[in-house]
Structures are given as structure tokens and as C-alpha cells.
């Protein structure tokens, strides 16, 4: 009889316990949401150059990304490889504006205008988040030898440090002592670095290989349906029209990562990471 009474009491108190637990959970959830910091309204900086300078000073301890083996690539996928064809010339710390051109397609109709626009938006947003340039803009085209730039080229060359006569993109790689002497020449304290000049770096994107990939095939244990993107990046000084560097960045994403086809990252994510990382690490090296 006593056991029946206890069973009856437990049965009646169970709904109240459930209601108490649910009420406590909802209250805790509401409190956690209300306790979250409210997004601050971004105030436009008084001087964009000063803001960029402060962000660049934070890059002193910047370490370049490993596009093949990292937590992000192992878990999320979207790895990348970078091949530097022509080493960067000059000091990228002198460039405070970035213009992105392209993509120029070498894959025919495989690269649609929608995909090209998506690529540009990805590259632009990545650089804007890093905030190492005063401005990041997308332009339709760029012709290094266009008419009307000859006068700017002569003037800029006369104001900036003159490179040795054999320091051209097509010249053979010099000895280690030659490269050391050129580095000392570029970094000498009395060189005309023009820290306040609005120099612009132009990045031309050429798509060499592209495959959208297939998420369903990536779920199969056959290493199929990979997303592939390979671009050639040409870097120019906008005023002089001189090509100051060239790289190939290749990215891919398949079912080999832990999340596999469930990951939102693809080959474009890897290429964007590689593109931004390569420019950032050279800006960081220039401001140290």
C-alpha cells in the first residue's frame, strides 16, 4: 500500500519536474542570448592610411600558412599549393592600394561569368577582412603597356630606387652575394621609399584549370568529384607597369578531409587562402 502511494506521488510529481527543467533551460538560453555582446557599429576611420598602418604593424609576428597540412585543411578541406615563378621585387610595404583584375579564363566555357564573379567576390572579401590595404577594388582589365603610362613610368622610376641594369624578370638568377647586395640596396635607410605615396599593386588572375566538383561523388570512397582550381597570379606596379612577381596557386577539395562533402570549403577557398597569405607574408616581411 505504501509502495502504491509512493508510485502515485512520483507519477504526479514527474510532470512538474519536467516543466521545471524546461523552464530552467529556456531561461538559461534566453540569458545566454541576452548576455552575448552586441555587435558594435563600425565607425569610419578618420584616416584610412593610419588604420592600415596599425594593422600592418600587427603583422610583425605573422607566420605564413601551410596550405597542405593544417587543422583547417585536415578537417574542412580546401588545401592549396603555391609555386613562385618570379620572386617578388621591391618592397610591398610601399603599396597601400590593391586592384584585382580578372579572372582571365584559359579553360573556355568551363568558367562561367557567375563563377568568375564569385571568385572575385571571394578574393576581395578576404583582403578586406585582413585590412592591410587602404582600398581593395575590382577592375575589368589592366594593360601594363597602355598608352599614357609612359610619362608616369619615367617619373616613378626617377623618384624610386633604381634597380641594377641586370635586375629584370628575364635575367638569370644571380649568386647569393649578388642577392644580398641588392637586398641591402633596397633596404638602405636613405633610399626614397615614399611611405606616403599612394602606390597601387595590381593582381591579374588567369584561370588555368577549373572543375566545380561533385559533392555526391566525394562521399564515395573512390576519391572522385574533386573541386579543382589553378590560377596564375601576375603582380604589377600600376604606375610603372612593371611586373614585380608571378605565382601559380592551385587548390583542390575532395572527400579526403574529415568533413568531406559536408564541408562548405572547396578549391576556391584554398586558392583564396593562398592568394591572401602570399601577399600578407610579403607585406609583413617588408614592415619588419
pLDDT in the model for residue 24: 39
DSSP 169: T
What are the distances in angstroms from CA 135 to CA 51, 98, 198, 245?
11, 6, 10, 20
Residue 221: all three cell numbers together: 570512397
User: 181-197, pLDDT tens digit by residue?
Assistant: 766 676 665 554 444 56
Question: Which pairs from 55-63 meet CB under 8 Å and 24+ separation?
Answer: 55/130, 55/131, 55/132, 56/93, 56/132, 56/283, 56/284, 56/287, 57/287, 59/132, 59/280, 59/283, 59/284, 59/287, 60/284, 60/287, 60/288, 62/280, 62/281, 62/284
Residue 92 φ then ψ, to 5° = -70, -10
67 close to 79: Cβ distance less than 8 angstroms: yes
Give the side-chain half-sphere CA count within 13 A for 135: 10
Secondary structure of residue 1 in the 3-state scheme: coil
Mean pLDDT per 10-residue interval, the chain, length 288 residues: 48 47 39 39 46 78 83 80 92 93 92 94 95 94 68 48 52 67 65 62 96 83 85 96 96 82 85 95 83
Bridge partners, residue 253, by sequence: 227
Distance, in Å, from the CA atom of 79 to the CA atom of 168, rounded to the nearest integer, reads 32
- Using only the alpha carbons of the chain, give its radius of gyration: 27
Amino acid at each position: 500500500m505504501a509502495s502504491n502511494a509512493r508510485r502515485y506521488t512520483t507519477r504526479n510529481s514527474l510532470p512538474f519536474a519536467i516543466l521545471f527543467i524546461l523552464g530552467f533551460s529556456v531561461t538559461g538560453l534566453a540569458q545566454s542570448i541576452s548576455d552575448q555582446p552586441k555587435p558594435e557599429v563600425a565607425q569610419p576611420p578618420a584616416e584610412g592610411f593610419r588604420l592600415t598602418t596599425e594593422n600592418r604593424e600587427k603583422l610583425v609576428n605573422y607566420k605564413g600558412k601551410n596550405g597542405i597540412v593544417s587543422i583547417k585543411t585536415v578537417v574542412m578541406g580546401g588545401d592549396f599549393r603555391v609555386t613562385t615563378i618570379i620572386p617578388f621585387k621591391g618592397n610591398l610595404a610601399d603599396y597601400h592600394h590593391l586592384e584585382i583584375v580578372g579572372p582571365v579564363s584559359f579553360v573556355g566555357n568551363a568558367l562561367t561569368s557567375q563563377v568568375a564573379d564569385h571568385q572575385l567576390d571571394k578574393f576581395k572579401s578576404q583582403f578586406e577582412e585582413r585590412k592591410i590595404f587602404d582600398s581593395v577594388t575590382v577592375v575589368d582589365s589592366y594593360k601594363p603597356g597602355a598608352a599614357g603610362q609612359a610619362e608616369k613610368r619615367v617619373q616613378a622610376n626617377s623618384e624610386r630606387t633604381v634597380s641594377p641594369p641586370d635586375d629584370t624578370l628575364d635575367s638569370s638568377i644571380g649568386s647569393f652575394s649578388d642577392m644580398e647586395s641588392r637586398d641591402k640596396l633596397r633596404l638602405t635607410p636613405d633610399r626614397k621609399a615614399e611611405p606616403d605615396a599612394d602606390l597601387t599593386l595590381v593582381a591579374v588572375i588567369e584561370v588555368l584549370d577549373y572543375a566545380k566538383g561533385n559533392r555526391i561523388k566525394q562521399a564515395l570512397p573512390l576519391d572522385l568529384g574533386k573541386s579543382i582550381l589553378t590560377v596564375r597570379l601576375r603582380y604589377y606596379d600600376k604606375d610603372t607597369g612593371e611586373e614585380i612577381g608571378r605565382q601559380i596557386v592551385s587548390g583542390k577539395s575532395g572527400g579526403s578531409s574529415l568533413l568531406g562533402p559536408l564541408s562548405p570549403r572547396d578549391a576556391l577557398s584554398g586558392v583564396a587562402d593562398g592568394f591572401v597569405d602570399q601577399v600578407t607574408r610579403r607585406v609583413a616581411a617588408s614592415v619588419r
